[in-house]
Amino acid sequence: MEKFELKPTFSFQLLDKNRKWIGIAVFLVFSFVFYVFAVSLKESLQLFRLIFSNENWQVSAKQYYLLNFLIAYLSVVFGSLFMLEIWFSKPVKRRQKYSKNTQSIIEYVRGVFWAVLYVVFAFTVYMWVVFGSFNAHYCFEFIADYIFLPVLILLFLFFNLWNRFIIVFKTKLKYILGHFLVLVLLASIFAFYVPLKFQNYFEKVKQTQVAVTIPQVKLMRPNKIAKFSLTFDIYIIPDKSNPGSYKYYINNAEVDQSNLEKRLKLIRSLYDIAEQRLIRPRLFVDENVPMSALEIVDLELFKMRIFQRFYVVQIRQNNCNSPSLGNLGIARLGMLRYVDTSYQFSYPDPKVPLPPLYPTIEYYKRIIKNDSTIRIAFTEPNHVLINQKIYEIDQLDKILEDCWDLNEKILLILNDHTSYKDYIKALATLNNFNWKKQNELSISMFNQSIYDLYDSDKIRSIYKISPGYFSTNEVELNKFIFENDP
């Protein structure tokens, strides 16, 4: 009488010889391909972070190889799933007895594979799309900080797989331990030997992104200035080798004008798809740069509708120990050249403390009439033209105290040759008085003769800043900066 087995003992003799070796080959190839893809994705995210935010993910060598080992182990586990599916995709010998049981193994393998693949990549893709590619590294930092979680998950996958296998077949312990040792050995080979070429390649690319630096640039960050976790730093400084031209940098990497336009468009695209609070650019401008050099930056940021988040920091290139003008946070007022268009910032009652919210923006057209408006234009360095009289910028506060009536408006007129330093000084003074007097302040870009400014038909591209825009801290900051400015 033939002995009947409720649960057969597993052995490789049950498998078809060709199918057995095909499964092993697929296991090795898929494990390697998946590992290379996952490591390349990790390094690419780190590279994007370096390019866009100038921050390199600093991890120790132990953390680096441990994370690579976990990725490699996940890869070989996935490869094992494919191997088992090939082994049992057709019944083993004695089809009539074991087809139903082996089919349950296949269904389990497929379910585990797609579930784990979804969990691993859904979170990464979510970080990529929602928070921007330069922040997707957070998922890897989470793994490095809580390393025991992925270790437990991978061990669970391994033993749960064998638990399902034991339900169908009688399995010897040597097969389980042997499979585990093979997975660990193969994952170690992938983690410690395979990534060397990839690591060297990405390191070379990273070096090309941080090789360019701005020498002798001193920045001042007063204690009263809030710390901003800004993402994009845009630098504009004069080109000493080519007078009259300027160099543009993004996060310390020099870019030419054509590439600058592409980078700004990319920043704008990220701003559209990412969480907007993460995309906050910061502008660094040398004191000798005129307004014309900022046109390309302004136009692109204007389209992004984020100049209310656009902060200005003044740069000095000379060797001196004196502080720079610092972060005034006033580029939000606007330096953009648009004909017959303007944006108005609406704020709550200035007597009420301003909430930590961004202003609403209302589109409108406006032509300033020849009324009691005080017109301030820039004629030559460190001088301004006020109502057809030339004064030094340092005298601006005293002049305004004498002639500024509560009912009068102020029009600040800029042109391409206006010194950025003069613009910052004049605007900071106007900010101080505007906050105290609650008058209306407008800014205009004008390129014709300054004496044509009194022809109302030629004044265009106006902004109006509503009263109450500047907070007390900003006024104190302006005083602090200019009291310490040489």
Beta-sheet pairing, 360-364 with 281-286:
unpaired
Q: What is the pLDDT of residues 424-466, one digit of tens each?
A: 677 666 655 654 554 455 555 444 333 333 333 333 333 333 3
pTM, 2 dp? 0.40
Other Cβ atoms less than 10 A from the Cβ of 238: the count is 18
The pLDDT, as a whole number, for residue 238 is 74
The pLDDT, as a whole number, for residue 83 is 81
Tokens representing 478? 């302006």
The pLDDT, as a whole number, for residue 334 is 31
Contact by Cβ (8 Å): 52, 251 = yes
Which residue is listed with tokens 């307004």? 291
Angle of helix 148-168 relative to helix 61-88, nearest 10 degrees, comes to 20
Quickly list DSSP for 170-215.
Answer: B--HHHHHHHHHHHHHHHHHHHHTTHHHHHHHHHHHHHHHHS---T
Tokens representing 287? 């004191």
Tokens representing 410? 């102020």
CA-based torsion, 199, 201, 203, 205: positive or negative:
negative
The pLDDT, as a whole number, for residue 110 is 67
Residues 317 and 353: their CA atoms lie apart, in Å, by 38
The pLDDT, as a whole number, for residue 364 is 26
Low-confidence residues in the chain, pLDDT < 50: 1, 54, 95-97, 132-136, 208-231, 272-279, 299-371, 406, 435, 438-439, 445-486
The pLDDT, as a whole number, for residue 170 is 73
Tokens representing 15? 């498998």
Q: Is 482 in a helix, a strand, or coil?
A: helix
Question: Which candidate, 485, 486, 215, places its Cα nearest to that of 326?
Answer: 485
The pLDDT, as a whole number, for residue 385 is 78
Indicate the burial class of 415 (C-beta count within 10 angstroms; 0-12, 13-18, 19 or more).
Answer: middle
Q: What is the pLDDT of residues 345-381, one digit of tens each?
A: 233 333 433 333 222 222 222 233 334 567 777 777 7
Question: Residue 237 to residues 250, 269, 296: CA-CA distances in angstroms?
Answer: 12, 26, 14
User: Please, what is the average pLDDT of the chain?
Assistant: 58
DSSP state of 380: S
Residues 177 and 186: their CA atoms lie apart, in Å, by 14
Angle of helix 420-437 relative to helix 472-483, nearest 10 degrees, comes to 140
The pLDDT, as a whole number, for residue 291 is 65
